């Protein structure tokens, strides 16, 4: 499973949307469930699924799938 | 512990919400947020019987982030939550007549409060507050909480759960706090005890849920997330959020689900390690060493459940003599014959034994929890008795003592005298049975038997002092219950307060003992000459002793004296109350076309006190 596929399934389960609602270019403002509460939930889910301890200052920057993928890469998640 | 993908797949094979809950708890597993959501949907697909509960949340910190955990934990307890969050803050607006909260009409309202928001003094380090000033601060603090709770209690009918967020930091004095005269921890525990006492005495249906207990369970660092607190004013980690949610939904479940009443226990590898028939009394593991000490602890927990009001029964495949030898002679055996309300020690299939236990105790199988180590026995019971909750005893002895901790139906919200004496009452019932058998053998009639008991009934009216028990009777009585209306303590307090409503109860005493309060009737009048029998119920414990007729007779006589001339009543059939389907016609009610019953009280009474083998006293009103 690629990192994107794993992220897709985590985000879909967290936001309770179908997996195909999350694409490699999705951004926060384009998905209704990805509101400010949903965003905190996604951050918590990322930590749990990828074993991370994130800096709260990064939360605001990770507002799109590309930004999250880039972050995961920088954290050497594979 | 995290749940690996492989473990998660295994979890998705478990076929009921309650067993998923026990599976997670026994392995100390904490799901991730996506796993929790997935499991919740899985439970929704498995079971369409989730009970809908409306939850209201009053909060002084972000509470919406709790939602996925509340919904997940509710699903584990077979509840489907509809959550409403009041606007942020503790203003009394939430308690106003048309507020969103009041309109939501919550079954359970959760108050998430912080000390800082309740009293400005707590915005500074408490260690700096002079001892002399504390009493005054405490009074003001209690006054504020009390006022808030009173305002909500006035407008909301459901249970209120009050929580106060503990400090995320250790005490200002550090490790010395416990020794210090100005100890923060001591102060806080005194404040909590005081609050709990006022909730208990001043309100109905208000409970303090102590978050400190949860912090103790999982640890301060696992409970609080400082990042989410500073960035989103949400104090909890996922583990903390789940612990809070479990505590809240367990309370809701204990109020709204069928109460468990009976814990049916296997013996070998459940109460002790090993098999008594093979290992002998000296060979089983039960004592001061590992693994026997784990079994001793498990027995102590079971005894404490018995003291909380649950009945313990034995359901084991053993030679009765072998098993009895352990109960009587083993030096480390905690549970003795007197702690078991009934026993089935034989080689019959366990489902058959459970059915006969339910008959002996006069209780439904859905109030049974079956505890056994064997895969085979657990699946046999699961398969043939779907209403019984099966708890499989873990194979690792160290995990056994805590194996019932996650069963929400074992939580209680009140403790009554009847709970504490229940097992003794069942043993008295066995003695009555043997007396009946002896008399029947000697050729006496059932009337002789009833007279020989020397029964005395005490009828009470509008008595607030027994509210917990009266509410409990409406919650627990399924068989001898004409209308099966469930009432909270709060509901009953209102009825008792209403001058046109009469709430009668009775207790029954005889040669073998006192049954405690076992019957309840609620009459709704309209200040005119007509009245309605809203509720008429009796605990199955006293069935077959003509107590129901004597109780009804006493009520009718009293209503006549109050000027009531006609009483109407109805029978609302359920799956369980077929026992009383002809109660109304049998007792002189004319059944009308719509199925309800009418009784005229204008003439002279149908019965006199002497018609019953019971001496009647009352009704005594407060």
- Hey, is B392 helix, strand or coil? strand
> Residue B307 is encoded by which pair of tokens?
């003291």
Residues 6+ apart with CB under 8 A from B39: B11, B12, B20, B31, B72, B75
pLDDT band at B182 (very low <50, low <70, confident <90, very high): confident
Q: B65 vs chain A: nearest CA distance in angstroms?
A: 7
- Same fold for the pair B50-256 and B262-410: yes
3-state helix, strand and coil shares in percent for chain A, rounded to the nearest 5: 60, 5, 35
The alpha carbon of residue B351 and the mean position of all alpha carbons in its chain are separated, in whole angstroms, by: 25
Cα A36 to Cα B271: distance, rounded to the nearest angstrom: 51
DSSP B372: E
Domain membership of residue A29 as a residue range: 3-74
Cα B423 to Cα B401: distance, rounded to the nearest angstrom: 22
pLDDT band at B360 (very low <50, low <70, confident <90, very high): confident
Q: Which fold has domain B262-410?
A: Rossmann fold (3.40.50)
Whether the CB of B603 is below 8 Å from some CB of chain A: the reply is no
| Interface TM-score (ipTM) > 0.90 | yes
Task: Please report the pLDDT score of residue B44 as a whole number.
Answer: 93
Cα B97 to Cα B84: distance, rounded to the nearest angstrom: 16
> Residue B330 is encoded by which pair of tokens?
């083993």
Question: What is the DSSP code string of B299-323?
Answer: HHHHHHHHHTTPEEEEEE-S-HHHH
Confidence check: pLDDT of B157 > 90: no
Confidence check: pLDDT of B622 > 60: no
Average pLDDT, rounded, for chain B:
90
CB atoms within 10 A of CB B147: 12
Summarize pLDDT for B298-327 with one digit per residue, the tens. Answer: 999 999 999 888 999 999 999 999 999 999
Size of interface A-B (CB pairs under 8 A): 41
Summarize pLDDT for B445-470 with one digit per residue, the tens. Answer: 888 889 989 999 999 999 988 998 99
The nearest alpha carbon in chain B to A37 belongs to B65
Cα B586 to Cα B581: distance, rounded to the nearest angstrom: 9
User: What phi and psi, each to the nearest 5 degrees, are found at residue B191?
Assistant: -60, -45
Say what angle helices B33-46 and A36-50 make with each other, to 10 degrees: 100
> Residue B186 is encoded by which pair of tokens?
């001591």
Q: What's the mean pLDDT in A48-64?
A: 94
Say which residue, B189 or B608, is predicted with more confidence. B189
Q: What's the mean pLDDT in B525-529?
A: 81
Say which residue, B474 or B28, is predicted with more confidence. B474
A44–B33 C-beta distance less than 8 A: yes
B33: chain A residues, CB-CB within 8 Å: 13-14, 41, 44-45, 48
Task: Kindly list the strands in the beta sheet with B455-461, ordered across the sheet, starting from the edge strand earlier in the chain.
Answer: B590-591, B597-600, B566-569, B530-538, B513-525, B501-510, B455-461, B614-621
Summarize pLDDT for B462-515 with one digit per residue, the tens. Answer: 998 899 899 999 988 988 999 999 998 889 999 999 989 999 999 999 988 888
Task: Please report the pLDDT score of residue B351 as a whole number.
Answer: 97
**Residue labelled with tokens 């709790």:** B66
Angle at B405 between CA B399 and CA B411, to 5 degrees: 170
Q: In this structure, what CATH number is given to the domain that contains residue A18?
A: 1.10.1200.10
B68–A59 C-beta distance less than 8 A: no
Q: Using an 8 Å Cβ cutoff, are B149 and B203 in contact?
A: yes
**Residue labelled with tokens 């605990």:** B539
Summarize pLDDT for B391-438 with one digit per residue, the tens. Answer: 999 999 999 998 898 787 777 766 667 777 777 778 788 788 888 888
The fraction of chain B above a pLDDT of 90, given in percent, is: 59
Task: Please report the pLDDT score of residue B413 as a whole number.
Answer: 65
Rounded-to-10 torsion of CA B304, B309, B314, B315: -120
B34–A49 C-beta distance less than 8 A: yes
Confidence check: pLDDT of B174 > 70: yes
The nearest alpha carbon in chain A to B69 belongs to A41
B34–A10 C-beta distance less than 8 A: yes
Which of B:233-272 have CB within 8 Å of A? 234, 238
Summarize pLDDT for B335-358 with one digit per residue, the tens. Answer: 999 899 999 999 999 999 999 999
Least confident of B167-171, B389-393, B586-590: B167-171
Task: Please report the pLDDT score of residue B88 as a whole number.
Answer: 85
> What CATH superfamily is the domain B452-621?
Gcn5-related N-acetyltransferase (GNAT) (3.40.630.30)
Every domain of chain B and the residues it spans: 1-49, 50-256, 262-410, 452-621
Domain count, chain A: 1
Summarize pLDDT for B37-61 with one digit per residue, the tens. Answer: 999 999 999 988 889 999 999 999 9
Least confident of B9-18, B113-122, B360-369, B416-425: B416-425
Q: What is the largest CA-CA distance in chain B?
A: 82
| End-to-end Cα, chain A, rounded Å | 10
Summarize pLDDT for B67-78 with one digit per residue, the tens. Answer: 999 999 999 999
Q: Which helix (H) or strand (E) holds B135?
A: helix B131-155
Strands, E assignment, B37-186: 51-59, 79-85, 108-114, 159-165
Least confident of B101-115, B248-262, B270-284, B570-584: B248-262
| End-to-end Cα, chain B, rounded Å | 55
The fraction of chain A above a pLDDT of 90, given in percent, is: 94
Cα A19 to Cα B38: distance, rounded to the nearest angstrom: 13
Task: Please report the pLDDT score of residue B415 as a whole number.
Answer: 64
User: What phi and psi, each to the nearest 5 degrees, are found at residue B169?
Assistant: -100, 155
Task: Please report the pLDDT score of residue B85 as a whole number.
Answer: 95
Q: In terms of C-beta density within 10 A (0-12 exposed, 13-18 middle, 19 or more buried), how is residue B15 classed?
A: exposed
- The dotted CATH code for B50-256 is 3.40.50.1110
Q: A13 vs chain B: nearest CA distance in angstroms?
A: 5
CB atoms within 10 A of CB B29: 16
> Residue B507 is encoded by which pair of tokens?
């207790």
The fraction of chain B above a pLDDT of 70, given in percent, is: 98
B68: chain A residues, CB-CB within 8 Å: 41
Q: Using an 8 Å Cβ cutoff, are B385 and B226 in contact?
A: no
Cα B610 to Cα B162: distance, rounded to the nearest angstrom: 51
Task: Please report the pLDDT score of residue B178 as a whole number.
Answer: 85
Confidence check: pLDDT of B595 > 80: no
B37–A14 C-beta distance less than 8 A: yes
B232–A13 C-beta distance less than 8 A: no
Task: Please report the pLDDT score of residue B567 as a whole number.
Answer: 93
Cα–Cα nearest to B212, from B282, B270, B165, B171: B165
């Amino acid at each position: 499973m690629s990192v994107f596929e794993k992220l897709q399934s985590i985000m879909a389960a967290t936001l309770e949307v179908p997996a195909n609602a999350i694409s490699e270019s999705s951004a926060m403002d384009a998905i209704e469930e990805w509101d400010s509460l949903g965003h905190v939930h996604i951050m918590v889910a990322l930590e749990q699924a990828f074993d991370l301890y994130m800096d709260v200052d990064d939360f605001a920057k990770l507002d799109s799938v590309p930004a999250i993928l880039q972050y995961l890469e920088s954290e050497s998640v594979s | 512990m995290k749940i690996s993908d492989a473990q998660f797949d295994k979890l998705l094979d478990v076929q009921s919400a309650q067993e998923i809950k026990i599976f997670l708890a026994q392995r100390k597993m904490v799901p991730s947020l996506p796993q929790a959501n997935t499991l919740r949907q899985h439970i929704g697909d498995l079971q369409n019987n989730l009970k809908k509960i409306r939850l209201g949340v009053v909060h002084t910190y972000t509470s919406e982030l709790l939602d996925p955990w509340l919904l997940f934990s509710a699903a584990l307890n077979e509840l489907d939550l509809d959550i409403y969050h009041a606007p942020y803050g503790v203003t009394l607006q939430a308690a106003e007549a048309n507020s969103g909260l009041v309109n939501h009409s919550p079954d359970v309202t959760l108050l998430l409060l912080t000390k800082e928001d309740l009293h400005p003094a707590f915005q500074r380090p408490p260690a700096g507050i002079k001892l002399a000033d504390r009493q005054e601060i405490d009074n003001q603090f209690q006054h504020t909480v009390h006022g808030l709770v009173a305002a909500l209690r006035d407008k909301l009918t459901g249970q209120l759960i009050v929580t106060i967020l503990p400090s995320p930091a250790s005490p200002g004095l550090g490790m010395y706090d416990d020794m210090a005269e100005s100890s923060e921890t001591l102060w806080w525990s005194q404040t909590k005890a005081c609050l709990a006492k006022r909730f208990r005495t001043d309100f109905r249906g208000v409970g303090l849920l102590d978050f400190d207990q949860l912090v103790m369970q999982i640890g301060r660092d696992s409970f609080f997330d400082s990042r989410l607190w500073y960035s989103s004013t949400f104090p909890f980690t996922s583990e903390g959020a789940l612990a809070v949610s479990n505590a809240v939904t367990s309370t809701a479940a204990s109020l709204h689900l069928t109460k468990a009443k009976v814990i049916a226990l296997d013996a070998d590898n459940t109460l002790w390690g090993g098999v008594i028939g093979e290992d002998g009394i000296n060979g089983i593991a039960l004592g001061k060493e590992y693994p026997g000490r784990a079994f001793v602890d498990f027995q102590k927990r079971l005894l404490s459940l018995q003291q909380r009001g649950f009945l313990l029964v034995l359901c084991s495949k053993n030679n009765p003599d072998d098993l009895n030898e352990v109960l009587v002679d083993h030096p480390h055996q905690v549970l003795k014959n007197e702690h078991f309300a009934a026993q089935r020690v034989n080689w019959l299939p366990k489902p058959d034994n459970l059915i006969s236990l339910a008959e002996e105790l006069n209780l439904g199988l859905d109030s049974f929890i079956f505890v056994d180590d064997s895969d085979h026995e657990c699946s046999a019971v699961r398969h043939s008795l779907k209403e019984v909750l099966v708890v499989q005893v873990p194979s690792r002895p160290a995990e056994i003592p805590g194996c019932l901790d996650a069963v929400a139906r074992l939580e209680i919200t009140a403790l009554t005298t009847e709970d504490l004496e229940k097992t003794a009452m069942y043993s008295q019932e066995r003695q009555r049975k043997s007396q009946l058998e002896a008399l029947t053998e000697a050729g006496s009639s059932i009337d002789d038997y009833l007279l020989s008991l020397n029964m005395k009934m005490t009828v009470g009216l509008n008595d607030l002092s027994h509210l917990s028990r009266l509410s409990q009777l409406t919650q627990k009585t399924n068989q001898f219950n004409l209308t099966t209306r469930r009432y909270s303590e709060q509901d009953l307090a209102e009825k008792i307060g209403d001058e046109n409503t009469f709430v009668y109860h009775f207790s029954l005493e005889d040669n073998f003992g006192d049954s405690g309060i076992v019957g309840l009737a609620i009459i709704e009048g309209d200040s005119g000459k007509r009245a309605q029998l809203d509720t008429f119920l009796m605990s199955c414990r006293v069935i077959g002793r003509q107590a129901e007729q004597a109780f009804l007779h006493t009520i009718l006589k009293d209503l006549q004296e109050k000027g009531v001339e006609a009483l109407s009543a109805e029978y609302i059939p359920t799956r369980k109350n077929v026992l009383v389907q002809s109660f109304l016609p049998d007792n002189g009610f004319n059944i009308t076309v719509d199925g309800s019953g009418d009784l005229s009280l204008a003439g002279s009474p149908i019965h006199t006190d002497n018609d019953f083998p019971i001496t009647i006293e009352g009704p005594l009103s407060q």
